[in-house]
Structures are given as structure tokens and as C-alpha cells.
Amino acid sequence: MITAVRQEGMLLIDFIEALLNPHIPFLRYAFMVGLLASVAFGVIGSYVVVRRISYIAGAISHCVLGGIGVGLYLQKGVGWAWVDPLYGAVIAALAAAVIIGFVSIHASQREDTVIGALWAVGMAIGLLFIAKTPGYTDPMSYLFGNILLVSQNDLRLVAGLDILIIGAGCLFYQRFLAVCFDEEYARIRGINATAYYLGLLCLTAITVVLLVRIVGIVMVVALLTLPAAIAGHFARVLWQMMLAASLLCAVFISSGLAISYTYDMPSGPVIIVIAGTVYLAVLLTRWVFR
Amino acid sequence: MIPVVEIENLYFSYNGISVLKDVNLSIDQKDSTCVVGPNGGGKSTLIKIILGLLEPTRGTVRLLGGTPDEKRNRVGYVPQYSNFDPLFPVTVMDVTLMGRLAAQNGVRFGFSYSKSDKEAALHALEEMELLQLAGRKFSELSGGQRQRVLIARALVSASEILILDEPTANIDAHVEGSLFEIMLELNKRMAIILVTHDLGFTSQFFESVICVNQVVHVHPTSEISGELIQDLYGEDIKMIRHDHRCAAGGHVAD
């Protein structure tokens, strides 16, 4: 037992040393991106969970691959060096949010079919553009995350988007709360509920992009919903849920990065397995002690 | 005296299917009106049109002398509480304050409401005898308590009309009784429109009944008879309430 504690202590010290090591900047960037993104994930993830739009968030995040593919193609195929695949990701995510939002408002029937189709088509477009991009690009990095790709430029982009998301999430807190709780009533109170719903989807879209580099587009929605779902079991009000979800998200990402670095495992899956295990443990405990 | 709701020659169809035909009705101030009819007969549609959530295909709706879009801010609306997510993290006070969103006194941004909003919310909670539950989580309340929270939320912004959608669904008989008392009290200062599929409920309290099954008929409660019920619901009535008593002579419309 003591040895185990000592080993874990060594693990933590090793990880902190690695974080401070100037020769491996990507780890430091990934760690900082993770901490910054956690706040946005906690805030927006809570809205997504209480409004029950995880499925829509999933569709948006998969469509992001389309934007990444086009971005890569423009950067390397057409030669526009200033284009970053993440710019494409942001644009694709916003476009997907607006299209899927309109579909979910207007297609009263077969909403899931249309959203499922957009989900797949978005990914297909991305893979086609990646295939036609000169040089070798591994789609796996984008699908499942690769912290080796995190750069200082990403850190700046993530910090900027983070401020935007948290600012909007807090400024419109009461209105988003009302629209999520009872959309029809919010509309009667003179709130443009459709606009707030689309706004929420757009914020979700941008949030998803923040962690594409670290956990990848396939798994990112789990990190959006699991911390919020865990927090929802204990929170009395929505802002407490957001705060707790942000903290949990930060813990999952940092512990996941530490374990993946120490044992040389891909960071995204480790983070998701930790989040999923804690979620299941909470559900089980609640079920046993009900 | 301006009627609180006035509908003339109103038609509504959805995807080419006629839902409401040639509706004409008028509800006066401090009236108590019950809207009854079978499921799918157009009750909810009628309410949504009055609230301006749906546009009529043809005809006019006047709400408090204006259009529904202009005036619905002054209407208190109590939806069916069974529509709510039982896990939603929100307190009784939070829910009540939603009645003050975008009210006459400007737009609310950020986390906090103004002092006057909070006072109005506390006042409404006090009237519903819920003051001591203000900080409790909405999902921890009983069905009857939640119903009263939703009425409090409606009251913080309404002064002239209160519309309740199926408030008797899923609540106990004794809660139903206290709901009556609340409505009797509120009816002294505002018009009440209540939607229900439970006809036995109607004649105990309401002055008039609006029967909605594509077409709309308005009756004083005293006219409710077996024949009328059959017209409205067709031959297949399976459930009849036996505890239903009419006051001697019934109620009489003005």
C-alpha cells in the first residue's frame, strides 16, 4: 500500500517535471488547453445535459471533421499557408449547429434520421478532403486526438474562444436557464426561444472544437456530457452544476494526461475512460444507496 | 368593458388538416371559463392561439384589447407540470423568477434579477403558501406543490388573466380541492381559463364551458347534460365521475 502511494507520488512528480520540461512544450500546451477548456465544457456541458441535446452535440462534433478536412486541403493542397485546420473546424461546427438546429426545429418527424445523415455526411466530406490533401495526414489524430499536435497557436485560439463561450454562457444565464427549463413559457415571456436555442447550439459547436486536438471529435461529446451528468446528481441549481462540472472536467483531463504520459497511452481514450468510470461509479452508488 | 379574450371567425389548420373551424367566443373580465373536449379536439391549439404561440389560418384574436403578441406578457400561463424534467437543477425561487423574464421593467441579463423582481416572486410564493420552500429544489416537491409554484410563476407577471392547462392531471383529489380554493380566491381579481378533459370538474366552479371539438360551443355550466357530453365525446364514454354534484339550480350564465 505504502509502495503504491509512493509510486503514485513519483508518477505525479514525474508528470510535473515533464510539464516544466522546456523540451516537451506540447505537454504543457495540452495541459493548459485542457484546463482552459474545462471551464467552457462545464458551463456549456451543463446546458447540453439539462436541455437533453447530447445527440445533437454529437452530430455537430462529427461534422467538425468536414471543416478540418477542408482546412487541411486549403492549407496543403491549395497552398494557403495561413489556414489552420482548426479555423475550418470552427466554421464547420457553426454551420452544422445552424443547419441541425433548423432541422430539429422544423422537421417534426424523422428528426433523428436527418441528423444522423448530417453526422455521417460531415465526416465523409472531411475524409474525402483529407484523402486528396498532398502528403500523409492521419485522420486518426483528429478522430481520437493527438496531443503532439497541440501548438502555442492552438493555446491562443482556445483561450480566445473560451472567453467568448464563458462570457456568453454567463451573460445569458437566466435566459438560457428559462429556455432550457420551459421553452414554451420563455416564449410567452417575450423571449425569442428559437434564437436562444440556436445560440446554445452554436456555443456547443465552438466548445466541441476546443478539445478536438486532445480527445478528438469522436469522444469529445462524452467529455461535454459526463462531468455535467455527474454534477447534476448533486447540484441544487444550475450554476452549481456548471462549477462542479468544470472542476470534474479539469480533474479528468489532467489525471488523464498524467496517466497517458506516464504509461505512454493515447490521451483521449484515457481521459474518456476515467470520466466514464467515475460516471458509472456515481450511478451505481446512487442506485445502491437509494 | 373590454373582453379579456375575443375571437371572431377563427379557423386553424395544420398541414392541411382542419383543427378549429369558425370559432367565435368572448371572455369577460373576471370570468371563470373551462375549456373541455376530447384529446386532439383542439383545446391546446385554441390556448396556443390565444397566447400567440400559433397564428390562426383565418380570423382575429384580441387579447386584452390588443394582439396576443403585444399583450401576452400580462397573461399568467400554467403549463402541465408533467412536461418537466425531474432532474432539472433549479430552485422554487428560480422557477418563480422566470415569470419576470423580459417583463415590463426591461430585459434581464446575467445571473441576478433585480430587487423588485425578487420581491414580486416572494410575494407570489407567499400567496401560494410556499415561502418556506423558496430555496428548495423544484424536483423535490410534491405534485401539488409544484403546481402551486407554477401558479406563483404565472402570478408574478399576470394581473388580468390566468390560463391553466390540465392542472388536475396527475394530482390527488385533496390537492384538487385546494386548487379550487386558490382559483376561487384568484377569480376575485382576474379571469380564469382552465383546460381540462375532466367534465366533472367543470360545473363545480366555472360560470361557462367552452366545448372544443373542431367546432367550438360556449355553454353556461347549467346546460351540461348527458346529451351534450355525448355530442362532444361521441358514444364511447368509458369513465364517468360519480362524485359530481351540481349546486341546486346549477350555475347560470350572465
In chain B, where the domains are located: 5-85+161-233
Task: Name the residue facing A187 among B53, B89, B91 (closest C-beta).
Answer: B53
Q: In what helix (H) or strand (E) does residue B211 lie, and over which residues does it extend?
A: strand B208-213
**Has the ipTM of the complex gone over 0.90?**
no
Cβ contacts of B143 within 8 Å, gap of 6 or more: B81, B170, B171, B172, B175
Lowest mean pLDDT among A116-120, B81-85, B204-208: B81-85
pLDDT higher than 90, residue A201: yes
Per the listing, cell 420563455 goes with A186
- Put simply, the chain B residues between 98 and 137 with a CB less than 8 A from any chain A CB are 98-99, 101-103, 108-111, 113, 137
Q: What is the pLDDT of residue B18?
A: 87
Q: How many CB atoms lie within 10 A of CB A138?
A: 10
Q: What is the pLDDT of residue B102?
A: 67
The answer to whether the CB atoms of B108 and A174 lie below 8 A apart is yes
Handedness of CA B37, B42, B47, B50 (dihedral sign): negative
Please name the residue of chain A whose CA is at the shortest distance from the CA of residue B78.
Answer: A185
pLDDT higher than 80, residue B177: no
Closest by Cα among B45, B52, B74 to B191: B74
Number of H helices and number of E strands within chain A? 13, 0
A31 shares contact with chain B (CB less than 8 Å): no
Indicate the number of domains in chain A: 1
pLDDT higher than 60, residue B242: no
Handedness of CA B43, B49, B52, B55 (dihedral sign): positive
Q: What is the pLDDT of residue A5?
A: 60
Judging contacts by C-beta atoms under 8 Å, the chain B residues touching residue A240 are 89
Task: Name the residue facing A191 among B94, B95, B101 (closest C-beta).
Answer: B101
The residue-averaged pLDDT of A108-130 equals: 87
The answer to whether the CB atoms of B89 and A235 lie below 8 A apart is yes
Q: What is the pLDDT of residue A7?
A: 66
Alpha-carbon distance of B164 to B51, in angstroms, equals 12
Q: Are A48 and A40 in contact (CB under 8 A)?
A: no
Q: What is the pLDDT of residue B104?
A: 45
Backbone angles phi, psi at A107, to 5 degrees: -85, 95
A188 shares contact with chain B (CB less than 8 Å): yes
pLDDT-derived band at B238 (thresholds 50, 70, 90) equals very low
Q: What is the pLDDT of residue B244?
A: 43
pLDDT-derived band at B210 (thresholds 50, 70, 90) equals confident
pLDDT higher than 50, residue A71: yes
User: Can you say how many angstroms the Cα of residue A107 is from the centroid of all Cα atoms in its chain?
Assistant: 26
The residue-averaged pLDDT of B64-86 equals: 83
- Find the DSSP H helices in chain B: 43-50, 68-71, 92-97, 115-127, 143-155, 173-186, 199-202, 226-233
Judging contacts by C-beta atoms under 8 Å, the chain A residues touching residue B103 are 189
The answer to whether the CB atoms of A189 and B73 lie below 8 A apart is yes
The residue-averaged pLDDT of A237-246 equals: 95
Alpha-carbon distance of B112 to B115, in angstroms, equals 9
The answer to whether the CB atoms of A181 and B75 lie below 8 A apart is no
Judging contacts by C-beta atoms under 8 Å, the chain B residues touching residue A50 are 85, 87-89
Kindly state whether residue A4 falls inside one of the protein's structural domains.
no
3-state secondary structure of B89: coil
Residue, of A243 and B226, whose pLDDT is higher: A243
pLDDT higher than 60, residue B254: no
Task: Name the residue facing B91 among A173, A178, A237 (closest C-beta).
Answer: A237
Q: Are B162 and B191 in contact (CB under 8 A)?
A: yes
Residue-wise pLDDT tens digits, B102-128: 644 455 566 678 888 889 999 999 998
Alpha-carbon distance of B122 to B93, in angstroms, equals 8
Distance (Å) from the alpha carbon of A236 to chain B's nearest alpha carbon? 5
Judging contacts by C-beta atoms under 8 Å, the chain B residues touching residue A238 are 89-90, 94
Q: What is the pLDDT of residue A254?
A: 92
Residue A244 has which C-alpha cell? Answer: 462542479
Kindly state whether residue A3 falls inside one of the protein's structural domains.
no
B146 shares contact with chain A (CB less than 8 Å): no
The residue-averaged pLDDT of A156-163 equals: 89
Cβ contacts of B56 within 8 Å, gap of 6 or more: B10, B11, B12, B20, B49
Alpha-carbon distance of A9 to A59, in angstroms, equals 40
The answer to whether the CB atoms of B98 and A181 lie below 8 A apart is yes
Which domain does A146 fall in, by range? 12-288
Give me the CATH topology for the region B5-85+161-233: Rossmann fold (3.40.50)
pLDDT-derived band at B248 (thresholds 50, 70, 90) equals very low
User: Can you say how many angstroms the Cα of residue B124 is from the centroid of all Cα atoms in its chain?
Assistant: 17
Lowest mean pLDDT among A173-182, A262-271, B120-129, B214-223: B214-223
pLDDT-derived band at B152 (thresholds 50, 70, 90) equals very high
Judging contacts by C-beta atoms under 8 Å, the chain A residues touching residue B90 are 177, 181, 237-238
pLDDT higher than 80, residue A11: no
pLDDT higher than 60, residue A17: yes
The residue-averaged pLDDT of B236-244 equals: 43
Residue, of B141 and B159, whose pLDDT is higher: B141
- Count Cβ atoms within 10 A of the Cβ of residue B10 and give its class: 0-12 exposed, 13-18 middle, 19 or more buried: buried
Q: Which residues of A50-86 are buried (b: 16+ CB within 10 A; e: fewer)?
A: bbebbbbbbbbbbbbbbbbbbbbbbbbeeeeeebbbb
The size of chain A, in residues, is: 290
Residue-wise pLDDT tens digits, B44-69: 889 999 998 889 999 999 998 888 88
Task: Name the residue facing B89 among A171, A189, A238 (closest C-beta).
Answer: A238
Q: What is the pLDDT of residue A226?
A: 96
- Residue A65 sits in a domain of what CATH number? 1.10.3470.10
Distance (Å) from the alpha carbon of A52 to chain B's nearest alpha carbon? 9
Kindly state whether residue A7 falls inside one of the protein's structural domains.
no
Q: What is the pLDDT of residue A45?
A: 95
Alpha-carbon distance of A207 to A228, in angstroms, equals 14
β-strand B5-14 against B17-27: which pairing, if any?
antiparallel
For helices A25-51 and A2-20, the axis angle rounded to 10 degrees is: 110
Task: Name the residue facing B90 among A181, A188, A191 (closest C-beta).
Answer: A181
Please name the residue of chain A whose CA is at the shortest distance from the CA of residue B73.
Answer: A189
Kindly state whether residue A5 falls inside one of the protein's structural domains.
no
The answer to whether the CB atoms of A174 and B102 lie below 8 A apart is no
Task: Name the residue facing B111 among A174, A186, A236 (closest C-beta).
Answer: A174
Percent of chain B with pLDDT over 90: 23
The answer to whether the CB atoms of B53 and A181 lie below 8 A apart is no
Lowest mean pLDDT among A33-42, B80-89, B178-187: B80-89
pLDDT higher than 80, residue A73: yes
B55 shares contact with chain A (CB less than 8 Å): no
